[in-house]
Amino acid sequence: MRQQSQQNSRNSILAALPKAEYQRLIPHLKNVSLNKGQVLHASDAPADDVYFLEEGVASLSVTTEKGEKLQLSIVGNESVVGERAIFKEGVFIIRCGMLTEGSGRSMHPKVFHEEFDRGDALHDLVLGRIEAGITETAQTALCNQMHPLKQRLVRWLLTFADRLHSDELPTTQEAIADMLGVTRSEISRAATELREAELIEYVRGRLTLIDRAQLEVKACDCYRIIKKAINEFTNSKR
pLDDT of residue 91: 67
CATH number for the domain formed by residue range(s) 148-219: 1.10.10.10
d(CA 127, CA 138): 17
pLDDT of residue 184: 93
pTM above 0.75, yes or no: yes
d(CA 42, CA 46): 8
Strand-pairing partners, residue 136, are none
Q: How far is CA 167 from CA 35, 88, 213, in A?
A: 20, 39, 12
* Per-residue pLDDT at 31 exceeds 60: yes
> Which stretches within 88-148 are classed as H helix?
109-117, 121-146
Is there a contact between 213 and 158 (Cβ–Cβ < 8 Å)? no
Q: Which helix (H) or strand (E) holds 163?
A: helix 149-164
Sign of the Cα torsion 135, 138, 142, 147 reads positive
Digit-coded pLDDT (tens) for 196-238:
999 999 988 899 999 999 999 999 999 999 999 888 877 655 5
Long-range Cβ pairs for the range 110-115 (8 Å, 24+): 110/85, 111/28, 112/50, 112/82, 112/83, 112/85, 112/86, 113/85, 113/86, 113/88, 115/24, 115/25
pLDDT of residue 90: 67
Domain boundaries, the chain: 12-141, 148-219
* Per-residue pLDDT at 70 exceeds 50: yes
Digit-coded pLDDT (tens) for 107-155:
999 999 999 999 999 999 999 989 998 998 899 889 988 999 999 999 9
- CATH class of the region 12-141: mainly beta
Q: What percent of the chain has pLDDT over 90?
A: 69
* Per-residue pLDDT at 65 exceeds 60: yes
Q: Indicate if 148-219 has the same CATH topology as 12-141.
A: no
